[in-house]
């Protein structure tokens, strides 16, 4: 009996030994396989990474950020996420094809996706080998923002109103003079057409002028009268989001005049635009001091009523926006201006320039 037990125990030990050795060999083999697989992945990644960098460089572009992480099941493989900035002047026509041609065949282009967003134009590219994505590239061009503010609405209704509100299917901000015959009606129509509405508040200019305004800010008014006029003018314009001055070369140069106006602007949670009808205006810095969202005019587009002049002024606006990232152009409600803007919009590269409301650029 004792001998049989010893033999049985010996067989169990032998089987356990065989199982242990087998498991060790399997684990060692699997470990070696995964180790060499990991080395292979790293070598492939390094080879592709160098080729990707050369490809981006051949496009005349450079990487602004790069992040490498491990992805996939153990042992995993390296994957790079790279951001490539595209300059404003860079030609975008045929860009996707140039990206395809920038990389050798050994770099597999798995997917190219283009996105034209409000703030940026982007191209996403996935590169790799086999089923593995080793590089995710994001080419991006930050758009410049241009807001167009069209003044002097309210006197007439018809062709001019239709041209701006119906025919120009882009974000526009229109400013309406309070107390004019069609002020309320145009404000309602503009809102329905998804245009932004502003109060074009008359203010006293320097020198003689013909005062036919129902509400106007005069330099001789007291604080309470200025506030009352501003409130009544605001209440006459439905859906009003902001205020800018009509004329006002004298009024906007006086802090004691602009202070009460801006207090009402702040009270009503509006934004303010300094039309800058004079270089001595204190309106914009005062609005900032009071914590009001504000901006000021960069370019008058239509001081001359000709297509060539308006287009030239728009290019000036683009140059300003390229420096600042955003710019405000002011024009006036006229058929010539509307048709010129329509032609400008048709030629606009919407991958580089975003037309926005004034509320999108105030700070």
Query: What pLDDT, on a 0 to 100 scale, did the predictor assign at position 33?
Result: 52
Mean pLDDT of 84-107: 96
Query: What pLDDT, on a 0 to 100 scale, did the predictor assign at position 39?
Result: 78
Per domain, the residue ranges of the chain are: 45-142, 144-360
Taking alpha carbons only, the member of 244, 223, 120 closest to residue 177 is 244
3-state secondary structure 61-84: CEEEEEEEEEECCCCCEEEEEEEE
DSSP 237: S
**Extended beta strands in the chain, E state:** 62-71, 77-85, 108-116, 120-129, 132-142, 144-153, 173-176, 196-203, 240-247, 271-274, 294-296, 299-300, 326-332, 353-356
> Which token pair is 193?
């057409």
Residue 346, pLDDT > 60, answer yes
What 3-state class would DSSP assign to 326? strand
pLDDT in tens, 307-341: 999 999 999 999 999 999 999 999 999 999 999 99
Query: What pLDDT, on a 0 to 100 scale, did the predictor assign at position 171?
Result: 97
Mean pLDDT of 188-192: 98
Query: What pLDDT, on a 0 to 100 scale, did the predictor assign at position 29?
Result: 60
pLDDT in tens, 159-174: 999 999 999 999 999 9
> Residue 149: left (phi > 0), alpha (psi -120 to 50), or beta?
beta
Residue 11's pLDDT band, with cuts at 50, 70 and 90, is: confident
Terminal CA-CA length for the chain? 97
Residue 281, pLDDT > 90, answer yes
Instruction: State the alpha helices, DSSP H only, in 70-150.
Output: 95-102
For the ranges 30-39, 66-75, 83-92, 231-240, which has the lowest average pLDDT? 30-39
Q: Which long-range contacts (CB under 8 A, 24 or more apart) does 209-214 make?
A: 209/247, 213/177, 213/179, 214/178, 214/179
pLDDT in tens, 30-58: 556 545 567 778 999 999 999 999 999 99
Residue 144, pLDDT > 70, answer yes
Query: What pLDDT, on a 0 to 100 scale, did the predictor assign at position 28?
Result: 59
Residue 141, pLDDT > 90, answer yes
Query: What pLDDT, on a 0 to 100 scale, did the predictor assign at position 3?
Result: 63
Distance CA 301, CA 310 (A): 5
Better-predicted residue by pLDDT, 18 or 162: 162
> Residue 173: left (phi > 0), alpha (psi -120 to 50), or beta?
beta
Judge if pTM exceeds 0.85. yes
CATH (one of 1.10.8, 1.10.287, 3.30.460, 2.60.11) for 45-142: 3.30.460
Considering the segment(s) 144-360 as one domain, its CATH architecture is Alpha-Beta Barrel (3.20)
pLDDT more than 70, % of the chain: 92
Distance CA 104, CA 116 (A): 27
């Amino acid at each position: 009996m004792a001998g049989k037990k010893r033999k049985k125990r010996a067989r169990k030990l032998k089987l356990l030994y065989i199982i242990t050795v087998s498991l060790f060999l399997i684990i060692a083999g699997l470990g070696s396989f995964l180790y060499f697989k990991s080395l292979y992945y790293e070598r492939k990644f390094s080879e592709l990474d160098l080729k990707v960098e050369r490809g981006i460089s051949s496009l005349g572009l450079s990487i602004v950020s790069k992040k490498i992480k491990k992805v996939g099941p153990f042992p995993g493989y390296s994957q790079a996420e790279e951001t490539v900035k595209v300059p404003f002047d860079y030609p975008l026509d045929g860009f996707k094809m140039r990206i395809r041609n920038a990389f050798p065949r050994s770099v597999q282009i798995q997917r190219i996706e283009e996105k034209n967003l409000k703030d940026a134009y982007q191209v996403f590219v996935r590169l790799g080998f086999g089923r593995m994505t080793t590089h995710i590239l994001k080419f991006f061009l930050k758009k410049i923002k241009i807001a167009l503010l069209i003044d002097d609405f309210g006197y007439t209704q018809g062709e001019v109103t239709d041209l701006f509100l119906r025919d120009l299917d882009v974000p526009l901000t229109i400013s309406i003079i309070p107390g004019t015959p069609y002020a309320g009606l145009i404000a309602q129509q503009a809102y329905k057409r998804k245009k932004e509405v502003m109060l074009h508040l008359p203010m006293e200019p320097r020198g003689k002028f013909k005062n036919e305004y129902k509400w106007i800010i005069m330099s001789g008014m007291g604080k309470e009268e200025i506030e009352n006029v501003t409130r009544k003018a605001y209440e006459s314009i439905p859906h009003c989001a902001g205020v800018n001055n009509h004329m006002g070369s004298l009024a906007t140069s006086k802090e004691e005049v602009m202070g009460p106006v801006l207090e009402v602007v702040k009270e009503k949670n509006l934004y303010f635009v300094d039309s800058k009808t004079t270089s001595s205006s204190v309106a914009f810095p005062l609005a900032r001091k009071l914590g009001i969202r504000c901006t000021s005019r960069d370019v008058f587009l239509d001081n001359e009523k000709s297509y060539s002049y308006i287009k030239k002024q728009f290019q000036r606006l683009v140059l300003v926006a390229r420096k600042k990232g955003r710019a405000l152009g002011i024009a006036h409600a006229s058929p010539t201006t509307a048709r010129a803007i329509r032609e400008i919009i048709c030629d606009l590269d919407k991958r580089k320039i975003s037309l926005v409301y004034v509320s999108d650029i105030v700070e």
